[in-house]
Chains A and B, each alone.
Chain A
Amino acid sequence: MKRMPTTCPSCAGKLSVKRLRCEACETEVEGLYSLPALANLDHEEQEFILKFIQASGSLKAMADHMNLSYPTVRSLLDAIIEKLNEKKSSPNKKDKK
């Protein structure tokens, strides 16, 4: 499945959603919608969040599943938290490539 881009390939600015389409009835909705915060994460980071939720928020279970130590998994989560906080505090900031 193709991955949805979240940053502009021309200027690295944040992308917004302009058009949504219904696959069932082919209805299209146009507007300007900002992407949810989680959509701004990398695919692997999104997978990590999903697995974290599926593990009921247990870092220990995550560490066992990923064959990593607890502090390593903790630091991965902290990195994602920091990234989300940065995007929240400066929503219009261009992503660095």
Chain B
Amino acid sequence: MTSANPHEELATPSRYRITTLLFNPFHYVAGGKALLIGLAVILFIGWLGSLKNIHFNGVLSLHVLHLTFPLWAFLAEGVIAWVSMAVLLLIAGKIFSKTSFRAIDVFGTQALARWPSLFTGLLLFVSADALMRLGDRKVQQIRHPEAAIDSSVMDIVVVVLVVIVGISLVCWMVYLMYKGYSVSCNIKGGRAIGTFIVALILAELLAQGGFQGLMAVTQQHITPPAMTASQTAAPAMESLQQSGEQFVDLLVREDFDAAVAQFHPVMKKGLSEPALRKAWRDLMTQCGPYQKQLGSRTATQGDYRVAFVTCQFERATVDVKIVFDANDQITGLWFQ
């Protein structure tokens, strides 16, 4: 952002303009002062991130991860990202600038350019729990596609808002990084844009490498998402599927004693071994002899997990619906 008369600033002291402060603060401040302010911001958001496992692990990228670092590593993440970008822009400036410039200005402006990440950090701080929950559920859905794992609508809304605002803040920061480079190295136009983009890509790769190095040094790794309380109290969906299939195998072998042994006591009263035997034989009378299992799937209904085992009989296909409670006991059985 420049004044309407570019010569106005040559002779008289310049007054601060709000738009220039927001979008090109380097017009007024660079060098050591910018470095101090920027470094303070970088270290602050590193500390903030340490409180909720928010990792500013790249020049632009940031994540909420199941990855606990010591505090110094969180602080180092931001420093690595800043230094990666500053060094590459310094090299670009040395190659492409027609005039001399100071390295302190490059490092200072790049540090100060990261100040919008203060808002990004605060945004993630207040929404970290929602982000973590949604991420964990998505991972569970990928691992167990047959399971019906729902995400909270509020979590989805929060994440969408965070993404929209976050992208805006990142765009602002990238613009500031570019202006810092342009001002400190006195490079303008297409040359400035092209070299900046190349430096940004390389710096992101460099910073990611630094992050991997931090993980190696701290001997930490990203842990799988922790199961929620309701999930840890229940068998994994895979074993639930197996439990359902094994129960049907008991029915097919007519080992009704073993089948009833898995019932909840209340269920035993409602469906005894003779009653189960009769129900199974009535099913085969109606649908023909049992032939094979076609497949199985699981679902959750409140605190209960349900296994559906699809069976092929001679004259029909039947879903055997088996409901398990939190203690792996069968509380419901339907032939559908």
Contacts and interface: CB of A to CB of B under 8 A. Distances in A.
Interface stretch (B8-16, B157-165, B239-247, B319-327): B8-16
A68 B28 contact: yes
Interface stretch (A3-11, A14-22, A72-80): A72-80
A44 interface: yes
Given A74-B186, A75-B183, A78-B186, A69 B7 contact: no
A67 B3 CA distance: 14
Nearest 4 pairs between A and B by C-beta? Answer: A44-B7, A47-B11, A69-B30, A48-B10
B10 A76 contact: yes
Contacts of B102: 70-71
A42 interface: yes
Interface string B25-44: 01111110010000000000
Contacts of B77: none
Nearest to B109: A71
B105 A71 contact: yes
B30 A71 contact: yes
Contact of B99 (A45, A68, A72, A78): A78
Nearest to B29: A69
Q: Summarize A's interface: helix, strand, loop or mixed.
A: helix
Contacts of A67: 13-16, 28
B211 to A, nearest CB: 30
Contacts, number: 66
B184 interface: yes
Given A67-B15, A69-B28, A69-B30, A74 B99 contact: yes
A97 interface: no
A29 interface: no
A70 B101 CA distance: 10
B105 A70 contact: yes
Contacts of B184: 71
Contacts of A2: none
29 contacts: A42-B7, A44-B7, A45-B7, A47-B11, A48-B11, A51-B11, A66-B10, A66-B13, A67-B14, A68-B14, A68-B27, A68-B28, A69-B27, A69-B28, A69-B30, A69-B31, A70-B30, A71-B30, A71-B101, A71-B102, A71-B183, A71-B184, A72-B9, A72-B26, A72-B28, A74-B186, A75-B186, A76-B9, A78-B99
